[in-house]
Amino acid sequence: METQSNSVQDSWVAERHQLLSLAIYPRRILDGIWLKVIGFVFTLIDHIGLIFGPEVLGEVCYQILRCTGRCAFPIFVFLAIEGVYHTRNYWRYFGRLALMAIILDAFCYVVYYAFPETGGMLTPGNVFTDLALGSLVIYLFRRNDKWTLLALLPIAYLVLSDFTVYRQGADGVYALIPAGVASDYGTYGLVMFIAMYFGYEGGFRYLRWRASQAGLQPLDIAPRRMRLILNGGATIGLLAVGCLFQLIRMLFGFTPIEPGISWAWESYSMLGAIFIMLYDGRPGTRKKAIRYPLYLFYPLHLIVLYLISLAF
């Protein structure tokens, strides 16, 4: 019985890989590289507001930049989910994300603690930690075996990242959970990953159900709709999270990331759905000379913005 169940599961996994290969819009719109570039543009916009702050930019400009920059995170979450589904070696993919998180935290540690008066906005903790741990949760969910329970470890880490609580002790102020080892988005990032994953995975199950209703195989009806269904499923997850956090803001007057304005700051991330829906399913150029330098954008733009901020 167990062997038969495993055989059915393996068959569905193989069929899902075939469906993924068909999940491409006929017309080119935004491939993976351009979607990543758009994510980095929003990141740059966000970090201009973060590093220069309302003191330099003014309150209105600061709020506009920070809220616009919210679009970056869901784009990168979507790309991370795509990466988990498409990569041939997940652990190599995870290693790249984790390495970037370590390098960025090391840089921010140096700036934050060596130059506390000028580097205060570059606190340790970055989005690559969220992307690495979020992708690990999704990878373990997808395994659907005895190892899936290990997803509780990165889940606990992300949730506890919201509790970087400082206490006054005999030796001064100390962190109950040091900010330097916390993720950037914490529970919000975890909820975003899980919601967009279930929306994305739900696309496969919806297509399978539609095919069974018509007495067909999923591959028979997939070519025209597959990419639209997957993008749409992830977008539904994104919109659900945005509405949830806005509802929490309206009911309780706060969110895990408190903006100090009437609309929950992170809810602006829903605008990222526009670019996710335009993703055409193509990875973009595979030239390493183009793909890998994109990872350097993140630390380099922080360095440049920090150096410019010294003039103010």
Residue 262: predicted pLDDT: 45
**CA atoms of 197 and 208, how far apart (whole Å):** 17
Residue 253: predicted pLDDT: 66
Rg (CA), the chain: 21
Residue 40: predicted pLDDT: 94
Residue 14: inside a domain: no
Helix, coil or strand: residue 261: coil
Is-contact 263 249, C-beta < 8 A?
yes
Other Cβ atoms closer than 10 A to 255? 19
Strand partners of residue 279: 30
Residue 6: inside a domain: no
pTM for the whole structure: 0.86
The closest alpha carbon to 48, from 35, 61, 34, belongs to 61
Residue 5: predicted pLDDT: 47
Q: Write down the residue that tokens 């003039």 correspond to.
A: 311
**CA atoms of 30 and 306, how far apart (whole Å):** 31
Handedness of CA 152, 77, 9, 283 (dihedral sign): negative
Residue 166: predicted pLDDT: 45
Tens of pLDDT along 124-146? 667 899 999 999 999 999 988 88
Residue 170: inside a domain: yes
Range of the domain at 42: 30-309
Residue 169: predicted pLDDT: 45
**CA atoms of 184 and 312, how far apart (whole Å):** 26
Residue 181: predicted pLDDT: 65
Handedness of CA 103, 76, 190, 250 (dihedral sign): positive
pLDDT along the chain (312 residues), means of 10: 49 68 82 94 92 87 90 95 92 92 78 59 74 95 90 91 57 52 83 95 84 76 78 95 84 55 70 94 81 81 84 77
Quote the number of domains for the chain: 1
Residue 8: inside a domain: no
Residue 1: inside a domain: no
**CA atoms of 312 and 251, how far apart (whole Å):** 39
Residue 183: inside a domain: yes
The C-alpha angle 62, 249, 196, rounded to 5 degrees, equals 85
**CA atoms of 49 and 42, how far apart (whole Å):** 11
Residue 105: inside a domain: yes
Residue 167: predicted pLDDT: 44
**CA atoms of 9 and 145, how far apart (whole Å):** 11
**CA atoms of 145 and 186, how far apart (whole Å):** 26
Q: For 104, what's the count of Cα atoms within 13 Å in the CB-facing half-sphere?
A: 27
Tens of pLDDT along 1-12? 445 445 545 555
**CA atoms of 265 and 287, how far apart (whole Å):** 37
The token pair that represents 127 in the structure block: 């989005």
Residue 145: predicted pLDDT: 87
Question: What is the distance between the terminal CA atoms of the chain, rounded to a whole angstrom?
Answer: 70
Is-contact 249 255, C-beta < 8 A?
yes
Residue 43: inside a domain: yes
